[in-house]
Structure 1
Amino acid sequence: MEQLRDAAAEGRIDLDELDSRLEQALTSKTHAELAVLTHDLPRPHSSASQVPLVLKGGMFGASRGPGRWEVPGHVIAHGGVGGVKLDFTRVECRLTEVAVEAYGETSGVTIVIPDAWAADTSGMDPGAGGLKDETTSDRLPGTPLIRLTGSGGAGGVVIRHPNRRERRKLHSNPT
């Protein structure tokens, strides 16, 4: 509701549209119903979304997720010798787009995104290890687009939706 009021104050929607959307917001029962009401409005940016998250695989690897974490607008992942895994499946992201720089280096980078999200991999250099894009383009309104750039290096970069094991884990522990 705060986003809608801000949009009206900025002149992005008129007062009739504000009243209509506020009424729909008050009767919404799911997050998806709420997302439709603000999908055409710019997302607010927190100060944390301005600072890039940098993950370096080093010797032992690095990961972020599958728990809840705040998604910044820019993520940089260096696979190193141990590899990096980025798991977005449990995050609540208010951004419309997240820039992810992935450098596969020796062991590679794996990125897991929810089914409702989509990825643009046109900025990736596959390198020797390649790029494996196993995502679908079925993006729901109000969900982020992962804009992937970087290089596959020797280890490669994989971006995908959750696999069967991850889906079972998500289903058995929905929080």
Structure 2
Amino acid sequence: MTDDAPELRASDADRERVAEVLRDALAEGRLDMEEFGERLDATYKARTYGELAPITRDLPATGAVAPPPAVSLNKEPVSDGSWAGRIVGGEGSSSWAVAVMSGFQRKGRWTVPRRFTSVAFWGGGEIDLREADFADREVVINCIAIMGGMEVVVPPGVEVVVRGIGIMGGFDHREEGVPGDPGGPRVIVTGFAFWGGVGVERKITRAARQRLKEERRQQRLDRRAERRELGGHGRDEHERRRHWEH
């Protein structure tokens, strides 16, 4: 974290780096559960670098939030959207998430690791893979929901396998059996649900939904134009017949 730009807006990735430091501190006994919960809540509510800085200042992992990068005026190459371009290797942006009487989200542009573990206790979480990259062609989403719930959102073209166990709860199997695209990733949803549930839903991205909306609007405009054109030809033919009759 840098103190020279406290008013700059923090990103989801910045908040996630701070949350990872807090989880490590909890595991090492540096924070108790109450302190962890308070700081985690403050992390996900933070909007600027200045609000994030104090959260980890007394913990060993200084520099949890990197300074914002300089703005580049060079246009970056745009991904072609193919699965080959989204299976990127590496370790992933985040390997786990915890919600204790609260919630978490993993969405937008992030890299799904080979194994992602999430825990929701009296809370909930959303794991959205629609705009994500993947560390491998096959990834495992391990969900532990205790008196809580989670939602896994996958885009079209992804094969889904559900292997979770539910006790007085359950895992959603509706998206199983849908074939994936050639070269597309395989997502295995596993874990344990006790008095809770893990849902799996297939959705298109907002951008794709907007494109479909625009395509349908254009199709309606084209049909109206065709009807007007046909109607105009009909009126011309009617006028010609009246001319010859007279």
3-state SS of paired residue (1:104): strand
3-state SS of paired residue (2:161): strand
Amino acid at match of 1:61: G
Q: How far off its partner does 1:93 sit?
A: 2.3
Q: How far apart are the structure 1 equivalents of 2:121 and 2:208?
A: 28
Q: Which residue of 2 aligns with 1:149?
A: 190
CA displacement, residues 26-68 of structure 1 (integer Å, 9 cap, x when unaligned): xxxx544x84xx9xxxx7631x24x961111112211100x10
> Do the aligned partners of 2:89 and 2:134 also contact (CA within 8 Å) in 1?
no
TM-score, with length taken from structure 1 = 0.64
Q: How far off its partner does 1:94 sit?
A: 5.1
Q: RMSD across aligned C-alpha pairs, in angstroms?
A: 2.9
Q: 1:172 aligns with which of 188, 193, 210?
A: 210
Q: How far apart are the structure 2 equivalents of 1:54 and 1:92?
A: 16
Q: How far off its partner does 1:92 sit?
A: 2.5
More helix per residue: 1 or 2? 2
Q: How far apart are the structure 2 equivalents of 1:78 and 1:120?
A: 19
Summarize the Cα distance change of 1:103–1:170 in structure 2 as closer, same or farther, 3 Å threshold. farther
> Do the aligned partners of 1:57 and 1:80 also contact (CA within 8 Å) in 2?
yes
Amino acid at match of 2:150: V
Q: How far off its partner does 1:140 sit?
A: 0.5
Matched, 1:56 2:98: yes
Structure 1: give runs of 5+ residues left out of the alignment.
1-29
Matched, 1:45 2:89: yes
Summarize the Cα distance change of 1:103–1:94 in structure 2 as closer, same or farther, 3 Å threshold. closer
Q: Which residue of 2 aligns with 1:113?
A: 154
Amino acid at match of 1:131: F
CA displacement, residues 83-122 of structure 1 (integer Å, 9 cap, x when unaligned): 111000111225210011111211111100111101111x
Identity %: 21
Give runs of ≥4 in structure 1 deviating > 2 Å.
166-174
Q: List aligned pairs for 1:6-45, cutoff 5 A.
A: 31-32=81-82, 35=84, 45=89
Q: Which residue of 1 aligns with 2:171?
A: 131
Amino acid at match of 2:159: A
Q: How far apart are the structure 2 equivalents of 1:169 and 1:153?
A: 36
Higher RCO (C-alpha under 8 Å, 6+ residues apart): 1
Q: How far apart are the structure 1 equivalents of 2:109 and 2:211?
A: 13
> Do the aligned partners of 2:137 and 2:185 also contact (CA within 8 Å) in 1?
yes
TM-score, with length taken from structure 2 = 0.47
Q: How far apart are the structure 1 equivalents of 2:211 and 2:143?
A: 29
Matched, 1:159 2:203: no
Q: Across the two proteins, how many residue pairs are aligned to each other?
A: 132
